Amino acid sequence: MKQVLLLLAGIISLFGCRKTPDTSQLTNNFIVGTNRDSKADFGSYKKYHIPDTVAYISNTPGADSIITGVAAAALVTAVKTNMTARGYSFVARNAGPELGLKLTALKQVNVGVVYPPGWWGGYWGYPGYCYWGCYPPYYPYPVAYSYNIGDLILEMIDLKNSGTNHNLTRIWILQAGGVLSSTSQTNLDLSVNAINQGFTQSPYIQSN
């Protein structure tokens, strides 16, 4: 009994000395969510195709476009690497792919307002600046700011069973997102990590 108590005391002291996690680390990576068609047999597919570009959608008028070049290549390569590791073969679009994959990046610009100290119940300066009658009065102007939220969506479409009517079914989706960094390379790294994480948490994606 004495040994058990000593063991419990040791465990309690271990957790008691454990450093509190830094909540700022929660923004180090995108949040990744995946979902699938429960009826899909992922093992029945062999060949897939993914374009070498990424669709870009923004809530800024006229900003929608296609991402090409190094950024698109990094994202597409991440998908290809994971698909190859799961036993799938990449083929050209006209070579009869059984799966189609599509990448879409979304960017939303959000605007907020920060009110400085001193705004109490709608009255400026209480109990802060110039409350005791300083002249001229100080008006704490609100400060506007903006931040960008990004989402990366990877869709897996069943081309094998589309039929003569070409009714396409999405059998898997990955959606990752979070607050974007001001550095493009950081956002690209986060997106690649999100793709890898999406496949990691989807072990059922495996060709027989």
**What is the CATH number assigned to the segment(s) 29-113+147-200?**
3.30.160.670
If one counts every other C-beta atom within 10 angstroms of the C-beta of residue 100, the result is 19
Q: 0.85 cut: is pTM over it? A: no
Amino acid letter at 121? G
Tell me how many helices (H) and strands (E) the chain has.
3, 8
Nearest Cα to 65, choosing from 93, 107, 100? 107
Query: What number of CA atoms fall less than 13 Å from residue 90's CA on the CB side?
Result: 14
pLDDT by residue for the chain (208 residues), tens only, comes to: 544 444 444 434 444 444 444 444 545 789 999 999 999 999 999 999 999 999 998 887 887 899 999 999 999 999 999 999 999 999 999 999 999 999 999 988 665 554 444 443 444 444 444 444 444 444 444 544 455 788 999 999 999 997 666 778 999 999 998 888 888 999 999 999 999 999 999 999 999 9
With DSSP H G I counted as helix, E B as strand and the rest as coil, what are the percentages for the chain, rounded to 5? Answer: 25, 30, 40
Distance (Å, whole) CA 73 – CA 54: 9
Instruction: Give pLDDT, residue 116.
Output: 47
Contact 177, 57 (CB under 8 A): no
- Per DSSP, 99 falls in state E
In the chain, domain spans: 29-113+147-200
If one counts every other C-beta atom within 10 angstroms of the C-beta of residue 137, the result is 11
Instruction: Give pLDDT, residue 182.
Output: 82
